[in-house]
């Protein structure tokens, strides 16, 4: 068995040292060398396409309906090492069961429509060869299939889920997750690539945990990376390598691992695991040719467009490498001013790199995208990509503002630099609000992954703070309308994902911090102290034209609200603002709501002197 404690109450991944012993000698194998070697071998082989006549050619409207379905050719894996008692236990847990074909069709279709474009880890043509034609020569991995069903559960209409025997999406995803985990724990799947594929898919599953010191998604990602490397070491460096199709599958896996590693690092403020950045030249469309076949859920043009979109996301992941290095240790300050200034210089370069990525990407994939693409799910993938981009920019701006305050340690900052931080944050929050609005209007928000919904937490808090600071009924109503967009998104998350209770705990923590700040009442009723000549309203700080920003594309930075808003908290209540930022970042990093003891030590070195006296 792979797990030291397979049946632990929390169903957590607790890896035995023996599990990773086979990859203990992999330290000398760099990620870059891994991808480069695969790329060289991949395109030196004969890449003849599979004979299309051997594929099932069903009408697209009924392509997932099998009038007389035969049993799926599922690879039940290696069971000779299991005792009869263990096999009986797995059977009692329905680990070898799948939904009936009509409902299973919906789950699988949802996976390729919603999940696959952003994580094209499965060769779609090869999958349909086995699934539709019930090809007995190509068995589906039961471990990977359960992982696929786990992720697609959140995208299935409720009536279909209930026909499959589940009360709702949360129960369905939890059931498939448990089955996949049991198959993994008992070592039923013995193909290294398939283990890595399934583990990477399961890194997107998030649920409540009574054992918060174990972060489930990072554990699964680590497993996927190790098995990906081990699969390469097992045969790819040998003289007789695997066939061309397997080379493509391995290269898919490596890039999907890299993308997941970077997005997870920036999104949760945890250190990334893959330290070598692969060569972008290895990203060729031939790697994904299996997604453009006649059996794809999308037509050829759309599937090709989605492949190009994933390649753009890979470029974003490369650009985020430096960002992740800066933001992966929440609240950790440099040793001195010189090091802090060096970090600020790096941030300047990183911001320029992100800007360059955006300028190049927005030409190919405009935003808002609904005006430029006809396929709804392309809009979903485009918006998810820009969600990640804006979230990374906010994290970088927060780090920059924190370092500037650390260097100054007084109420007067470099106004121009601080104004840029404020405007960057304001611009990104407004842009994310437009993305959320578009997804809600198109009824696509329900298809967002749990991780994508997490990007909405901080904008939600800023809009909630705006409502608290409203000074008139009309202004409050306007701000509540903006807040409602993020509330709807979080409500959808609660309906579909078990991990939402952890998000609720973090939201409650941040709201309690705001409620317990008495000086906010003074700020909301009187505004900044007009008798202090050194102060000016927040909107004055952000009123002057700036250089082009990603969303405005050359237009002046949007003005802060003429009345008091969250922008004034950043300017005049910096301690509270950074307390909110660090509380969220630490909570995401450790996987559960931060405590006061976690945050206060991070604030003490900053020696905050707020612009308005606490006694005023």
- Provide the number of structural domains found in the chain: 2
Tell me the pLDDT tens digit for each residue of 361-391.
999 999 876 556 667 889 999 999 999 999 9
Spatial distance between the Cα atoms of 251 and 28, rounded to a whole number of angstroms: 19
- CA distance linking residue 555 with residue 546, whole number of Å: 8
pTM attached to this predicted model: 0.82
Which of 14-18, 56-60, 233-237, 293-297 is the most confident on average?
A: 293-297
Alpha helices in 9-73 (DSSP H): 31-42
Q: Tell me which residue of 189, 191, 199 sits closest to 151, measured CA to CA.
A: 199
Give pLDDT tens digits for 478-500: 999 999 999 999 999 888 888 88
Does some domain include residue 55?
no
Pairing verdict, β 74-75 and 140-141: parallel
In-domain check, residue 271:
yes
Task: State pLDDT tens for residues 536-568.
Answer: 445 444 544 433 333 232 333 343 445 789 998
User: Please, which pLDDT band fits residue 78 given cuts at 50, 70 and 90?
Assistant: low
pLDDT reading at 331 higher than 60: yes
Residue 577 in domain: yes
Q: What mean pLDDT is reported for the chain?
A: 77
pLDDT band at 118 (very low <50, low <70, confident <90, very high): very high
Residue 159 domain-assigned (yes or no): yes
Closest by alpha carbon to 401, among 266, 571, 565? 571
What is the domain range of residue 598? 460-524+557-604
Using DSSP, state whether 533 is helix, strand or coil. Answer: coil
Give the per-residue pLDDT at 139.
72
The pLDDT score that the predictor gives to residue 514 is: 92
Tracing tokens 């263990």 back to the chain, one arrives at 86
**How confident is the model at residue 28, as a pLDDT?**
37
What was the pLDDT predicted at 482?
A: 96
Greatest mean pLDDT range, 393-402, 414-423, 516-525 = 393-402
For residues 10-25, give the mean pLDDT: 34
Q: Where does residue 592 fall: left (phi above 0), alpha (psi -120 to 50 degrees), or beta otherwise?
A: beta
For position 77, what pLDDT does the model report? 60
State the Cα angle at 116 between 318 and 591, rounded to 5°. 65
- Does position 610 have pLDDT exceeding 50, yes or no? yes
Cα 38 from Cα 46, distance rounded (Å): 14
- Residue 444: the pLDDT is 92
In sequence order, the β-bridge partners of residue 3 are 15
| Cα dist from 265 to 6, 277, 448, 505, 578, whole Å | 27, 14, 19, 21, 20
Question: Are 138 and 73 in contact, with CB atoms under 8 Å apart?
Answer: yes
What is the model's pLDDT at position 597? 86
Per-residue pLDDT reduced to its tens digit, 189-201 = 988 999 999 999 9
Number of H helices, E strands in the chain: 23, 2
Residue % of the chain over a pLDDT of 90: 45
Banded pLDDT at 293 (limits 50, 70, 90): confident
CA distance 339 to 197: 40
Task: Report the range of poorest mean pLDDT among 90-99, 312-321, 464-473, 515-524.
Answer: 515-524
Task: Kindly tell me if the per-residue pLDDT of 148 is higher than 90.
Answer: yes
What confidence tens digit (pLDDT) does each residue in 343-356 have? 999 999 999 999 99
What pLDDT score does 398 carry? 95
User: Does residue 334 have a pLDDT over 60?
Assistant: yes
In the predicted structure, residue 20 carries a pLDDT above the cut 60: no
Per-residue pLDDT, 135 = 53
Where are the alpha helices (H) located in 269-299, listed in sequence order?
A: none
CA dihedral 86, 88, 90, 93 (to 10 degrees): -140
Task: State pLDDT tens for residues 400-459.
Answer: 999 988 888 654 567 778 888 999 999 999 999 999 999 999 999 999 998 888 899 999
- Tens of pLDDT, residues 214-266: 578 899 999 999 999 887 643 433 334 444 677 778 888 989 999 999 999 99
What kind and span of H or E run contains 75? Answer: strand 74-75
Instruction: In whole angstroms, give the CA distance from residue 367 to residue 108.
Output: 29
pLDDT value of position 386 = 96
Distance, in Å, from the CA atom of 124 to the CA atom of 323, rounded to the nearest integer, reads: 33
Distance CA 251, CA 282 (A): 9
- The residue ranking higher by pLDDT, 528 or 17, is 528
Q: Is residue 568 assigned to a domain?
A: yes
Examine the fold and report which residue of 292, 311, 326 is the final residue of a domain before the chain moves on: 292
The pLDDT of residue 564 is 85
Q: Is the pLDDT of residue 142 over 80?
A: yes
pLDDT at 207: 75
Q: What is the pLDDT of residue 41?
A: 41
33 is a domain residue: no
Q: What is the CA radius of gyration of the chain?
A: 25
> CA-to-CA distance for 374 and 219, rounded, in angstroms?
38
Overall average pLDDT of the 20-34 stretch: 39
Lowest-confidence region among 55-59, 287-291, 479-483:
55-59
Residue 194 in domain: yes
On whether residue 174 sits in a domain, the answer given is yes
What is the pLDDT at residue 407? 85
pLDDT exceeds 60 at position 323: yes
Say whether 252 sits in a helix, a strand or coil: helix
């Amino acid at each position: 068995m792979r797990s030291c404690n397979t049946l632990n109450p929390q169903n957590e991944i607790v890896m035995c040292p023996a599990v990773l012993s086979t990859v203990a000698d992999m330290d000398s194998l760099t990620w870059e060398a891994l991808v480069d070697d695969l790329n060289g071998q991949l395109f030196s082989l004969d890449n003849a396409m599979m004979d299309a006549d051997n594929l099932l050619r069903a009408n697209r409207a009924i392509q997932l309906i099998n009038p007389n379905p035969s049993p799926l050719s599922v690879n039940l894996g290696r069971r000779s090492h299991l005792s009869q008692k263990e096999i009986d236990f797995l059977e009692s847990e329905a680990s070898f069961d799948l939904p009936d074909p009509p409902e299973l069709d919906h789950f699988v279709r949802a996976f390729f429509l919603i999940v696959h474009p952003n994580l094209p880890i499965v060769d779609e043509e090869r999958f349909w060869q086995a699934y539709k034609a019930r090809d007995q020569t190509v068995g589906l991995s039961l471990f990977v299939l359960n992982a696929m069903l786990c992720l697609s559960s959140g995208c299935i209409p409720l009536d279909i889920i209930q026909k499959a025997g589940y009360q709702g999406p949360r129960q369905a995803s939890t059931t498939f997750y448990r089955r996949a985990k049991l198959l993994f724990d008992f070592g039923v799947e013995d193909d290294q690539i398939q283990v890595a594929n399934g583990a990477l898919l399961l890194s997107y599953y998030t649920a409540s945990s009574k054992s918060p010191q174990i972060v489930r998604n990072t554990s699964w990602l680590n497993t996927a990376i190790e098995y990906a490397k081990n699969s390469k070491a097992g045969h790819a460096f040998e003289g007789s390598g695997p066939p061309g199709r397997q080379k493509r599958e391995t290269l898919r896996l490596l890039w999907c691992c890299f993308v997941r590693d970077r997005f997870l690092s920036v999104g949760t403020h945890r250190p990334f695991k893959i330290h070598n950045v692969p060569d972008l030249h290895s990203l060729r469309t031939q790697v994904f040719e299996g997604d453009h076949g006649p059996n794809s859920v999308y037509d050829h043009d759309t599937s090709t467009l989605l492949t190009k979109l994933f390649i753009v996301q890979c470029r974003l992941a490369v650009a985020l490498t430096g960002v992740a290095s800066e933001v992966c240790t929440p609240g950790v300050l440099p040793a001195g001013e010189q090091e802090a200034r060096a970090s600020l210089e790096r941030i300047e370069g990183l911001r320029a790199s992100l800007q360059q990525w955006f300028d190049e990407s927005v030409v190919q994939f405009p935003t808002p995208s609904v005006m430029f693409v006809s396929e709804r799910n392309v809009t979903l993938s485009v918006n998810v990509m820009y969600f990640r981009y804006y979230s990374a920019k906010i994290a970088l701006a927060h780090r920059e503002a924190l370092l500037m305050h650390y260097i100054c340690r007084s109420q007067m900052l470099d106004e121009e630099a601080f104004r840029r931080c404020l405007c960057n944050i304001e611009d990104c929050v407004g842009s994310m609000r437009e993305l959320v609005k578009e997804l809600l209007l198109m009824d696509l928000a329900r298809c967002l992954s749990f991780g994508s919904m997490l990007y909405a937490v901080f904008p939600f808090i800023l809009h909630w703070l705006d409502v608290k600071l409203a000074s008139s009924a009309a202004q409050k109503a306007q701000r509540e309308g903006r807040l409602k967009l993020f509330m709807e998104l979080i409500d959808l998350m609660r309906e579909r994902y078990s991990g939402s209770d952890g998000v609720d705990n973090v939201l409650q923590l941040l709201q309690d911090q705001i409620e317990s700040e008495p000086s906010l009442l003074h700020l909301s009723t009187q505004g900044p102290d007009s008798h202090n000549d050194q102060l000016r309203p927040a909107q004055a700080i952000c009123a002057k034209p700036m250089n082009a920003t990603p969303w405005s594309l050359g237009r002046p930075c949007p003005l802060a609200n003429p009345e008091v808003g969250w922008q004034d908290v950043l300017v005049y209540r910096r301690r509270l603002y950074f307390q909110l930022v660090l509380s969220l970042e630490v909570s995401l990093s450790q996987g559960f709501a931060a405590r006061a003891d976690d945050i206060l030590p991070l604030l003490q070195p900053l020696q905050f002197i707020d612009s308005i006296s606490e006694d005023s």
